[in-house]
Chains A and B, each alone.
Chain A
Amino acid sequence: MRASLMSAELPPIPAPEIEYSLLAPLMIIAGAAIVGVLVEAFWPRTTRFAAQTVLACAAIVAALADTVWVYTDLDRIESSLTARGQIAAEGAVSVDGPGVFAWGILLVFGLLSMLLFAERRLDGGLSAFTGRAADAPGSAAEADAVKRRLEHSEVFPLALFALVGMMLFATANDLLTMFVALEVLSLPLYILCGLARRRRLLSQEAALKYFLLGAFSSVFFLYGIALAYGYSGSFELSAIDTAVTSRTGSETMLLASIALMAVGLLFKIGAAPFHTWTPDVYQGAPTPVTAFMAAGTKAAAFMALLRVFFVAFGGSSWDWRPTIVAIAVITMFLGAVVSISQTDVKRMLAYSSIAHAGFLLVGFVGVYAGVAGSDRVTSVSSVLFYLAVYGLSSIGAFAVVTLVRDSGGETTHLSKWAGLGKTSPVLAGSFAVFMLSFAGIPLTGGFIGKWGVFSAAYSGGFWWLVVIGVLVSALAAYFYVRVIVLMFFTDPVGEGPTVAVPSVLTTVVIGVAVVGTVGLGIIPGPLLDLAQHAGAFVR
């Protein structure tokens, strides 16, 4: 009796339709992360580190190849704007041009970071991660772990989980998926931040700070999602857009929702006034992790920001643009000014990343979506290009940081970098290329990136913001140039820095970053076309 009642009342549950071929890059990375956990449990310790490295790199390469295939296969949608791609997984994921492009750059960043993770030649044959994270810093157990040459090879699956979170974050089409992705990307990063082999207290402090503030910001984001649901009755970005454009429901609730979600997302991209975690975390985290975070998190979070604000809240852009403009100006200015007074390379790069978040926001507030039939650079394509160049240069710069060392590990104090250009001109030259790219000097990718975001802002009617942007660029150039002065025009103090000879892994990373940075400055056409043809977001 009871059984028959239930079968009568329950509606049939259709099996969800999953487009496996479209989502394969996500699944490869997620699968590899899970396999990585199993490897961690069963693989013999002696060769586990190597096995994890190979697994992670192979998975990323496979996913990258598949991403290229997915991209070339995307459907073309011609409406008022050209777009490519489709909704997948019952509306949870939007596999569209910008999203897949973001997958591509995230995977490249991931691969380069994995190579840095795997570098073991710099610290006496051990990785940059602590041997046994549970030991108290400075304890006898820690010394024992070092003596037994223990290593945490869990960092690879953790990084893969973070990577899949980033990829999902960039393509999430409803707010719940987006929140889940945010957590999947954040939690492994909190752990990774605390795993430094040297200066462990600083590293643990960074992890705790990042966790507390990150959790706090996630809650803001979640509250915003709840209000958006209350306003529109749906988590789907397109449904929210419909509600926003038809202006049903309470205006207050909509504005509160936009504000709260903006807090969560601006925290992740490190925009002022939600930037305070950046310098501490960048400084404390193991440098390979910092590189991964600087490039990957920023790219993923910016894509999510663009998607939420352009797709869901595009209809009320008049409401949020003034605020974002103000935030962009404050972020650029603060990042540039404060980095001038930094004495630590990693903190300086952190403030520089804040300034770059400001420049990216300039491209974002342009909200220029293009017109049909014109090839004019849009907000989305300019931000995509900028993220690619910025990420590449960042990873390169942090890779250089891992090589300048003294007996206590990396020497990140700027004064120790004096005269680096005389002792190792190639390394200092590479760092100078990254600095020039950050400063936006022509013939580097950074210049083309700046040009792109400024033109998007100009197209959107913010020519005065462009003028502010270029003036702040000049200010920012001062501190990038200061590093070059220090490396090339100043004599080394005392012993001077020693530059560790890296294995082929780090060399490859720096080489790729230099070639990419200069190459994108001289022949930006192909990547720019790719970003341009990614088209608009698919909702």
Chain B
Amino acid sequence: MILSILAATPIAGALVLALLPRGTSNHLPAKVVALGVSLVTLALSLAVLAQYEPSDGGYQLTEQHTWIKAFGAHYAVGVNGIAVTLVLLTTILVPIIILASFDDRLPDPKGTNAYFAWMLAVEGLALGAFMATDAFLFYVLFEATLIPLYFLIGTFGGPNRSYAAVKFLIYNLVGGLLMLAAIVGLYVVSSRQGDASYLLSDLKNLDMGQNTERLLFLGFMAAFAIKAPLWPLHTWLPDAAKEATPGTSVLMVSVVDKIGTFGMITWCLNLFPEAADWASPVIITLAVVSIVYGALLAIGQDDIRRLIAFTSVSHFGFIILGIFAFTSTSMAGSTLYMFNHGLSTAALFLVTGIMVSRRGSARISDFGGVQKIAPIMSGVLLLAGLSSLSLPGLAPFVSEFLVLAGTFTVSIPAAAVATLGIVLAALYILIMYQRTMTGPLAPGAMGVTELRPREIAALTPAIMLIIGLGFFPQPVLSAINPAVDTVVSHLGKSDPTPKTPTPIAESSDQAPTAEEGGH
């Protein structure tokens, strides 16, 4: 019940905001209501966390009702360690985003209510997608996030926003519709074996033919690979991130794109273990290409927002690599990476968003020497940047290390090339920092003033978590590990003779060692 309330709260908040009169000139009531709703949601998610038993790898706090009987679709929600991590990420980030977006200059100030209402709608739908344990419900919520994001990009973004919004929508819709074909296929396969059911627990034990399983896997994977963006399906992301407001970008990259990687673990691996194993060499290759390609292109960007988007392509490569390496170490690393990447990208997008709005330009070459006039801002940028390049002591380091450590046991070439991504990360972050913050103050950059208290208040939680989890990731990992072990053992169970040399038998033994590596 508490999970339903958790997902319904932001949706209800969005409705309230939509009905709120467009009162005063600064729209303060709407902003305060939005922030209040997001804080209530955060409190609810903490209550969920308090009731959650971390040592159990299964789904907890479950709730289930029949929704569409003819389809076998249920309203079924529940959280395991992976889902609860992402629920927490979402509820932590949204108040930060809303607080940071208070002064966003919207093309039409009258739309302020709608701006925050759509944000809350994204939060509610994303929470629902993370908690859904029914494939149909998951699909509906996953696809429904497109609508608010589409309006957020298209209504409130930069000059080229409508192009970016349409590109975003069409890319994601193509993937989503291919997944629809697979969802329909699941129904037919499941109804051939008795009553149709979309419940994860029923689908896990579904007996499908080899070819059907592979085709359905491809349908699901197409949607998730476009969403998470995996090279070469990533081209919508830089455009969308460039045109969207910083808050929208964070929602898109840190929250909604995580549904893609989350879906790979929860749906692709659980439903189609054999097919996932069959496809893993190709996906690992694409992930490694993503890591290097994203990093290389990030180095070449002059637009800060496009730069961050390409770093995300690279980071998503790491996450996907960890998932499809099929070791519990790498998969736990990937899940932790989703959480950490969400935080570090949020900090990066928000602080650069502030820089861009003060300067009136997103070109790196328009900045220079900003640390002289805005030391706190430059410090936050440095810290967020260093976390993005996985400096030891900051949270993303732990997850990146776990991913690489897990991958090395499976494929040394993949891990070796992926490690190159870390080196390139140092380049794109440090070059960007050097050109914007150090050196003599650039002529036009005088207006880039120091962070205001509200902005500091918004960014502090993210920075604190990045530092804190860098030193002590164990609380999150202890929730993630049992759930990941369940997934990996499910993979092994239906996979007696793996073609790729996946040391399934050893992997569960290795998990404690890897955790120690994380400390």
Name A's B-contacting residues (CB within 8 A): 374-377, 381, 422, 436, 439-443, 447-448, 450-451, 454-455, 458-459, 463, 466-467, 469-471, 473-474, 477-478, 481-482, 485, 488-490, 524-525, 528-529, 532
- Interchain CB contact under 8 A, A375 and B147: no
Residues in A whose Cβ lies below 8 Å from that of B147: 436, 441, 443
Report the nearest A residue to B114, measured CB to CB.
A425
Quote the shortest CB–CB distance from B71 to chain A (angstroms). 7
Q: How far, in Å, is A362 (CB) from chain B's closest CB?
A: 11
- Contacting pair B191 A478 (CB below 8 A): no
How many angstroms between the C-alpha atoms of A372 and B151 in the bound complex?
A: 46
Name the A residues within 8 Å of B68 (CB-CB).
448, 524-525, 528
Contact B170 A374 (CB under 8 A): no
Minimum distance in angstroms from A534 CB to a CB of chain B: 12
Cβ–Cβ < 8 Å partners of B162 in chain A: 485, 489-490
Q: Known: A458-B184, A485-B154. Contact between A474 and B196, CB under 8 A?
A: no
- CB <8 Å contact, B215 and A463: yes
What 7 A-B pairs are tightest by C-beta distance, nearest first?
A470-B177, A489-B162, A442-B140, A442-B143, A474-B174, A376-B191, A454-B184
Are B69 and A481 in touch, CB under 8 angstroms? no
* In the bound complex, CA of A167 to CA of B330 (Å): 62
Q: Does B187 contact A (CB under 8 A)?
A: yes
Q: Which residues of A contact B161 (CB under 8 A)?
A: 489
Question: A525 and B169: CB pair below 8 A?
Answer: no
State the CA gap A298–B146 with chains docked (Å): 31
Contact B184 A525 (CB under 8 A): no
Given A481-B169, A524-B68, check contact A488 B154 (CB 8 Å): yes
- CA distance in complex: A220, B141 (Å): 47
Contacts of B195 in A (CB 8 A): 374-375
Pick 10 A–B contacts, CB within 8 A, sort by A: A375-B69, A377-B71, A440-B177, A442-B141, A443-B140, A454-B184, A467-B178, A470-B181, A477-B169, A528-B68
Task: For the complex, give the distance between the alpha carbons of A375 and B194 in Å.
Answer: 9
In the bound complex, how far is the Cα of B216 from the Cα of A458, in angstroms?
12
Other A-B pairs beyond A441-B144, A525-B67, A529-B69, 7, CB < 8 Å: A376-B188, A442-B141, A443-B140, A450-B180, A455-B188, A466-B184, A467-B178
| B69 and A451 form a contact (CB under 8 A) | no
A307 CA to B67 CA, complexed, in Å: 31
**Bound CA span A420–B394, Å:** 49
A53 to chain B, nearest CB (A): 34
List of A residues within 8 angstroms of B511 by Cβ: none
Q: Is the pair B166, A454 in contact by a Cβ cutoff of 8 Å? A: no
Tell me whether B67 and A470 are in contact (CB under 8 A).
Answer: no
| CB of B289, distance to nearest CB on chain A (Å) | 25
* B177 neighbours in A (Cβ, 8 Å): 440, 470-471, 473-474
- Assembly CA distance A376 to B169 (angstroms): 32
Question: Do the beta carbons of B108 and A422 come within 8 Å of each other?
Answer: yes
B164-191 with Cβ < 8 A to chain A: 165-166, 169-170, 173-174, 177-178, 180-181, 183-185, 187-188, 191
Is B185 a contact of A482 with CB atoms below 8 Å? no
Q: Identify the closest chain A residue to B141 (Cβ).
A: A442
B471 within 8 A of A: no
Q: Is B70 part of the binding interface, using a Cβ–Cβ cutoff of 8 Å?
A: yes
Q: Tell me, in angstroms, the Cα distance from A412 to B144 when the chains sit together.
A: 30
Residues of A within 8 A of B144 (CB): 441-443
A245: shortest Cβ distance to chain B, in Å?
Answer: 26
Residues of A within 8 A of B178 (CB): 467, 470-471
Question: Please, what's the 1-or-0 string for B128-150, where 1 marks a CB less than 8 Å from any CB in chain A?
Answer: 00000000000111011011001
Instruction: For A532, give its contact among B70, B183, B184 (CB under 8 Å).
Output: B70
Instruction: Say whether, besides A477-B173, A481-B169, A466 and B71 are in contact (CB < 8 Å).
Output: no
Which of A450, A470, A485, A532 has the most B CB atoms < 10 Å from its CB? A470
Asked if B155 lies at the interface with its beta carbon under 8 angstroms from chain A, I say yes
Which residues of the other chain, A, contact B191 by a CB distance below 8 angstroms?
Answer: 374-376, 459
* A residues in contact with B67, CB < 8 Å: 525
A451 in contact with B71 given A376-B191, A471-B174, A474-B174 (CB within 8 Å) = yes
**A375 vs B70: C-alpha distance when bound (angstroms):** 6
Q: Is the CB of A528 within 8 A of B181?
A: no
CA A482 to CA B165, docked complex, whole Å: 11
Q: Does B181 contact A466, Cβ atoms closer than 8 Å?
A: yes
Question: Which residues of the partner chain A approach B165 to less than 8 Å between Cβ atoms?
Answer: 485, 489
Nearest B residue (CB) for A488: B155
Q: Is there contact, CB below 8 Å, between A482 and B166? A: yes
> Tally of A-B residue pairs with Cβ under 8 A?
108
Asked whether, in the complex, the Cβ of A451 is within 8 Å of the Cβ of B184, the reply is yes
Chain B contacts for A467, CB-based, 8 A = 178, 181
Query: B173–A458 contact, CB under 8 A?
Result: no
Nearest B residue to A460 via CB reads B188
Question: When the two chains form their complex, are residues B70 and A528 in contact, meaning their CB atoms are under 8 A apart?
Answer: yes
- Chain B residues with Cβ under 8 A from A454's Cβ? 180-181, 184
Given contacts A374-B191, A458-B188, contact A525 B69 (CB under 8 A): yes
Identify which of B108, B151, B184 contacts A455 (C-beta below 8 A): B184
With A and B bound together, what is the CA distance between A19 and B151 in angstroms?
55
Q: Is the CB of A451 within 8 A of B174?
A: no
Q: A525–B70 contact, CB under 8 A?
A: yes
Q: Are A478 and B181 in contact (CB-based, < 8 A)?
A: no
- Given the interface pairs A376-B191, A463-B185, A467-B178, the reply to whether A478 lies near B170 with Cβ below 8 Å is yes
Q: Select from chain A the residue with minimum beta-carbon distance to B140.
A: A442
Question: Which residues from B are CB-within-8-Å of A488?
Answer: 151, 154-155
Do B180 and A477 have beta carbons less than 8 Å apart?
Answer: no
Partner of A470, one of B169, B180, B215: B180
Q: Which B-chain residue is minimally distant from A370 (CB atoms)? A: B191
Instruction: Point out which of B151, B165, B166, B177 has the most chain A C-beta atoms below 10 A from its C-beta.
Output: B177
Q: Are B184 and A489 neighbours in the complex by a CB distance under 8 Å?
A: no
Residues of A within 8 A of B183 (CB): 451
Least CB distance, A485 to chain B, in whole angstroms: 5
B166 close to A474 (CB less than 8 A):
no
Chain A residues, Cβ within 8 Å of B151: 488
Residues of B within 8 A of A529 (CB): 69-70
Interface residues of B in 91-122 (CB under 8 A from A): 108
> Across the interface, which residues of B come within 8 angstroms of A473, CB to CB?
177
Q: Which residues of A contact B187 (CB under 8 A)?
A: 377, 455, 458
The residues of A that contact B141 with a CB separation of less than 8 Å are 442
Contact partners of A422 in chain B: CB under 8 A: 108
Q: How far is the CA of A211 from the CA of B68 in the complex (A)?
A: 43
Residues on A with beta carbons closer than 8 Å to the beta carbon of B188: 376, 455, 458-459
Is the CB–CB distance between B154 and A489 below 8 Å?
Answer: yes
Contacts of A439 in B (CB 8 A): 173
A470 to B184 CA separation, bound complex (whole angstroms): 11
Docked CA distance A450–B187 (Å): 14
Q: List residues of chain A with CB within 8 A of the CB of B146.
A: 441
Considering the chains assembled together, what is the distance between the CA atoms of A470 and B146 in angstroms? Answer: 17
The minimal Cβ–Cβ distance linking A249 to chain B, given in whole angstroms, is 36
- Tell me the bound Cα distance from A264 to B177 in angstroms: 33
Q: How far is the CA of A482 from the CA of B147 in the complex (A)?
A: 14
Which of chain B's residues has its CB closest to A468's CB? B181
How far is A459 from B195 in the complex, measured between Cα atoms in Å?
14
What separation, in Å, do the CA atoms of A528 and B140 have in the docked complex? 17
**B226 shortest CB reach to chain A, Å:** 11
By a CB distance below 8 angstroms, the chain A residues around B184 are: 451, 454-455, 458, 466
A474 and B154 contacting across the interface, CB-CB below 8 Å: no
| Cα–Cα, bound, A440→B180 (Å) | 10
Which B residues touch A381, using CB under 8 A?
70
Residues in B with CB closer than 8 Å to A459 are 188, 191
Residue of A nearest to B143 (CB): A442
Of the candidates B150, B166, B173, B178, the one having the most CB atoms from chain A within 10 angstroms of its own CB is B173
Please, which residues of chain B bring their CB within 8 A of the CB of A471?
A: 174, 177-178
The answer to whether B166 and A375 have CB atoms under 8 Å apart is: no
Q: How far is the CB of A421 from chain B (nearest CB, A)?
A: 9
**Distance in angstroms between the alpha carbons of A64 and B101 in the assembled complex:** 52
* B108, B139, B147, most chain A CB atoms within 10 A: B147
Residues of A within 8 A of B139 (CB): 442
Residues of B within 8 A of A447 (CB): 140, 143
Q: Contacts A442-B143, A481-B169 given: A377-B181 contact, CB under 8 Å? A: no
